[in-house]
Homo-oligomer: A and B are copies of this chain.
Amino acid sequence: LQPFAAFPAPLDLHNLAVVLVSPRNPLNIGAAARAMSNFGGFDLRLVAVHGPSFREARSAVGPSSEIVRRARVFPHLADAIADCSLVLGTLAPHKRLPDVPFLPLTEAAAQVRETLQHSRVALLFGPEKTGLSNDSLSYCHAVAGIPARPEHASMNLGQAVAVCLYELSREMARTTPASTPDQPSPSAPAEHLDRITALLRDSLDASGNPVAEDQLRRLVRRLQIDTDDAVILTGFLRKILWKLQHPNTK
């Protein structure tokens, strides 16, 4: 075994939001915060969190209690991810989904690292017992799976957060910065995509052909719309919707 002393500086994760959807166990909230503190993430967001669980997690002390104390609570997932350009769900790898790209964690982490250089990224973890629901997954651009035994693929929440943040930071030694290839236009933040989804839904409603919103949400996310195009499309759909709602106005 060769000694090796130069450890890479940990990744700057200030653009990363760790989003826990309906976490139930206060120890898991604390464990997620501890992993964030270890690996350098500080933006913890909780969606539809059980009140007593959150209060108990907040009352714990320790080096990561500041992260829990400053965590933001949102009633709905859409609000928690509104400012994020890439939303990545996590799921046991054998729970496949029809409509959302499913990536191994290693591949997904590469995308996250690239996006973190210019935009905010949300990493989503579902409730302990059930994982992310189909509705939550419809907000995701992709889903990452941590390779695990098919017989027992469901990880503990705090351990899953630790493994994901470790994977994000582990490649920093190899990739480091300086290589700035073509800047692709950053993907539109989720709130733009939600606006487009809502306009499409309302237009289809107004045309007498309602379509389920989660189906539209997944469609809009598959289109990979950048911010400029999101603004253009929103404008087009507003005009179309207005006309549908005011058919007889010139």
Query: A127 on the interface (CB 8 Å rule)?
Result: no
Given the interface contacts A104-B7, A159-B158, A172-B147, does A1 sit within 8 Å of B141 by beta carbon? yes
On whether the beta carbons of B3 and A101 are closer than 8 Å, the reply is yes
Given the interface contacts A148-B10, A152-B63, does A222 sit within 8 Å of B226 by beta carbon? yes
Query: A60 on the interface (CB 8 Å rule)?
Result: no
Can you name the residue of chain B whose Cβ is closest to the Cβ of A239?
Answer: B209
- 25 residue pairs A–B, Cβ–Cβ below 8 Å: A1-B103, A2-B101, A3-B103, A4-B102, A4-B107, A7-B94, A7-B147, A8-B104, A8-B147, A10-B147, A10-B148, A34-B155, A38-B146, A38-B153, A40-B149, A160-B162, A162-B162, A200-B236, A204-B239, A209-B236, A222-B229, A223-B223, A240-B240, A240-B244, A244-B244
Given the interface contacts A101-B2, A106-B170, does A232 sit within 8 Å of B244 by beta carbon? no
Q: What residues make up the interface of A, taking CB atoms closer than 8 Å to B?
A: 1-5, 7-8, 10, 27, 31, 34-35, 37-40, 63-64, 93-94, 96, 101-108, 111, 141-142, 145-149, 152-156, 158-160, 162-163, 166-167, 169-170, 172-173, 200, 203-204, 206-209, 211, 219, 222-226, 229, 232-233, 236, 239-240, 242-244, 247-248, 250
On whether the beta carbons of B155 and A207 are closer than 8 Å, the reply is no
Which residues does chain B contribute within 8 Å of A4, judged by CB atoms?
101-104, 107
On whether the beta carbons of A243 and B170 are closer than 8 Å, the reply is no
Cα of A40 to Cα of B155 in the assembled complex, Å: 12
A248 to chain B, nearest CB (A): 7
Given the interface contacts A7-B93, A229-B222, does A146 sit within 8 Å of B158 by beta carbon? no
